[in-house]
Structures are given as structure tokens and as C-alpha cells.
């Protein structure tokens, strides 16, 4: 891992994502003999940050509602991470803006980027250069700080969507933070990000939730669930993710997600027509194409990064 040091990191939302970043940086420092900087947690509830303190994931905690505590927490911060549902990005940025040091860099872990960039421009105005949008592609079905892992980001991807206002050194500093966790950092613009992840992350989550919802609405739902096995478990694993977070993701990226849903519906209609017509050749050909594509993706390393469930 590349050399990386910091004096203070402030994490808003010390759950799986924020907690794993804190644990990764601490473990790296312990292995290298370096002294890790101060990590401060800020949460919506006292319970979440108190648990993070108990687990020694953070060094201190502050309340989002206390101006004095929030000001002290942000004073001298090198980095500020917003690890909260994307709908909270705008309000969080507006809340911290009056207390933000000019030298502090702010980044986020949101699963959508166009809405986040718009929120940052509104909340920060001419200080938007301090905000470097980001998205770590990692997660688990479990949420909360108890689920945080020091190796969550190892061999995973992190996408940064730099703004034209961001100085190159600011983007590189945020990239260095993520590389220090073992992640590979990539860059794309926010529109491209949202199109890509609507297809490979947001749509699969909607489909997983939809299958469970379909069975729940069946009169013999209990019977069906009682016989569900490996295929159902694998397909619906991500339906155990945070409902609040995925509600926000769907609404924030609705244009790109609707396009992917329409494309999926078209393919599903084609499959339905083939089944209705007993067209086994068409089904087999489509299934074979999918199998080859899935196998090639896995052989390129997709399996290592297959869990992109960004639970909080």
C-alpha cells in the first residue's frame, strides 16, 4: 500500500462503510508501525457512535446537533467522509459548511453521484472544490459498525468522480486514502458512474427485492419460502440490504435506473415469448451467451469484487 498519513479523519455515519475505513487505516498503521491520526465519529444517534467508541473504531464522538461539538470535531480535519444514505448528502454538507476548515477535504461513499454533485454545489457554493465525490464498491448484507471489517476494501474498486474545480492534489489525496485500505481507485464522471451502476448494482438490487416481494404477495408464500434453497438464497442475498439506503438510491438515480428496468423488461418479454412458444433453441442460445459472459467476468476477477452491497 502507498504511504498515507493524516492528522484527523471525521466520519459522518460510522456504520459498515465508515467503520471499515477507520478499521482499515488503523490496521495498516499498526502493521507499518506508524501512528494513526485521530478518528472522530459523528452520528444521527448517540447509540451508533457509542458502539463505535466501545469497539475502538473511533477515538471520539460528536453530536450532529451540537454546534460546539461539531465545530471542535471538524477543526483541523484533513478528511471528512460522508458515509450516510445519499439523500442526506445535501443536508449534511449544509450542516458542516460553516465549520469546515479551508484545508479540509470532504468526500462521500454514496452509490449515486449526479445528485450528490448537485447537492454539493448547492450546499458548498464556491467552496465546492473541497468536495471530491467518491463511491467505494464494497459491502455486506450486514450493516452497522459491528459489521465493519478492516479488509473490506482489499482488492475492491473505489470510483472517484472529480469535479472540474478539484485541484489534482486534492483528488490524489483522497485516492491515496482509499488505496491505503487495499482498494483500487478508478475515475469517471458522475453521469457515466450513474449509468454504469444503474446496470450492475442498482438494477440487481431492485430485482432481488422484487422477487421477494412477489413471493410475499402469493397466497402460498409460506410454502414457497419453506422450499426456497440455494438459487433463491443467492439471487435474493442483496435483498437483506438497507431499505432506507436503497429507497434513496432508486430515487436519486431514477432516470438511469428506469432505462435499465425498461431494457430488462424487454429481455424478460423476449424470454417469456420463447417459453410461451416452447422455443427451446432461443432459450438455450440466450442462456449460453449469458453463461459465457458470466464465466469470463468471473475469471477476470469479478468474483473477488462481486459483493457490491453498500450497506451502511
34, 38, 45, 36: which is closest to 10 by C-alpha?
Answer: 38
SS3 assignment, position 278:
coil
pLDDT mean over 155-183: 96
| Helix axis angle, 203-216 to 254-276, nearest 10° | 60
**pLDDT bucket at 307, cuts 50 / 70 / 90:** very low
pLDDT of amino acid 305: 45
Residue 309 has pLDDT above 50, yes or no: no
The predicted pLDDT at position 219 comes to 97
What SS3 state is found at 186? strand
- Report the relative pairing of strands 105-108 and 38-43 from DSSP bridges: unpaired
Q: What does the domain layout of the chain look like in residue ranges?
A: 8-189, 193-305
Question: Could you read off the pLDDT of 98-140 as tens digits, one per residue?
Answer: 999 999 999 999 999 999 999 999 999 999 999 999 999 987 7
- What is the reported pLDDT for 35? 66
* pLDDT at 222 exceeding the cut of 90: yes
Q: What architecture does CATH give domain 193-305?
A: Orthogonal Bundle (1.10)
- pTM of this prediction exceeds 0.85: yes
At the top level of CATH, the class of 8-189 is alpha beta
CA distances to 60, 63, 230 from 54, in Å: 10, 16, 37
In the numeric block, the cell 492534489 is attached to 169
Per-residue DSSP letter, 34: P
Residue 62 has pLDDT above 80, yes or no: yes
Domains 8-189 and 193-305 share a fold: no
Amino acid at each position: 500500500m502507498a504511504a498515507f498519513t493524516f492528522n484527523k479523519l471525521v466520519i459522518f455515519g460510522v456504520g459498515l462503510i465508515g467503520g471499515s475505513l477507520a478499521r482499515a487505516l488503523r490496521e495498516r498503521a499498526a502493521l507499518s508501525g506508524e501512528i494513526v491520526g485521530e478518528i472522530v465519529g459523528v452520528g444521527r444517534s448517540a447509540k451508533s457512535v457509542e458502539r463505535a467508541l466501545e469497539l475502538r473504531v473511533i477515538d471520539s464522538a460528536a453530536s450532529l446537533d451540537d454546534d460546539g461539538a461539531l465545530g471542535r470535531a471538524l477543526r483541523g480535519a484533513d478528511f471528512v467522509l460522508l458515509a450516510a444514505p445519499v439523500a442526506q448528502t445535501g443536508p449534511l454538507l449544509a450542516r458542516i459548511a460553516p465549520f469546515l476548515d479551508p484545508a479540509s477535504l470532504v468526500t462521500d461513499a454514496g452509490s449515486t453521484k449526479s445528485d450528490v454533485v448537485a447537492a454539493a454545489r448547492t450546499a458548498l457554493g464556491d467552496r465546492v472544490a473541497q468536495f471530491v465525490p467518491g463511491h467505494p464498491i464494497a459491502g455486506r448484507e450486514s450493516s452497522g459498525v459491528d459489521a465493519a471489517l478492516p479488509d473490506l476494501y482489499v482488492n475492491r474498486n473505489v470510483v472517484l468522480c472529480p469535479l472540474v474545480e478539484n485541484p489534482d492534489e486534492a483528488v490524489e489525496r483522497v485516492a491515496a486514502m482509499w488505496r491505503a485500505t487495499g482498494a483500487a481507485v478508478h475515475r469517471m464522471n458522475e453521469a457515466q458512474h450513474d449509468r454504469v451502476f444503474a446496470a450492475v448494482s442498482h438494477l440487481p438490487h431492485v430485482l432481488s427485492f422484487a422477487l421477494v416481494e412477489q413471493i410475499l404477495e402469493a397466497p402460498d408464500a409460506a410454502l414457497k419460502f419453506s422450499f426456497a434453497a440455494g438459487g433463491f438464497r443467492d439471487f435474493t442475498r442483496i435483498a437483506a440490504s438497507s431499505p432506507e439506503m436503497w429507497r434513496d438510491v432508486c430515487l436519486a438515480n431514477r432516470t438511469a435506473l428506469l432505462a435499465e428496468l425498461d431494457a430488462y423488461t424487454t429481455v424478460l418479454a423476449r424470454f417469456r415469448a420463447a417459453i410461451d412458444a416452447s422455443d427451446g433453441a432461443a432459450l438455450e442460445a440466450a442462456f449460453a451467451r449469458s453463461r459465457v459472459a458470466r464465466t469470463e467476468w468471473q475469471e477476470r476477477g469479478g468474483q473477488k469484487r462481486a459483493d457490491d452491497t453498500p450497506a451502511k
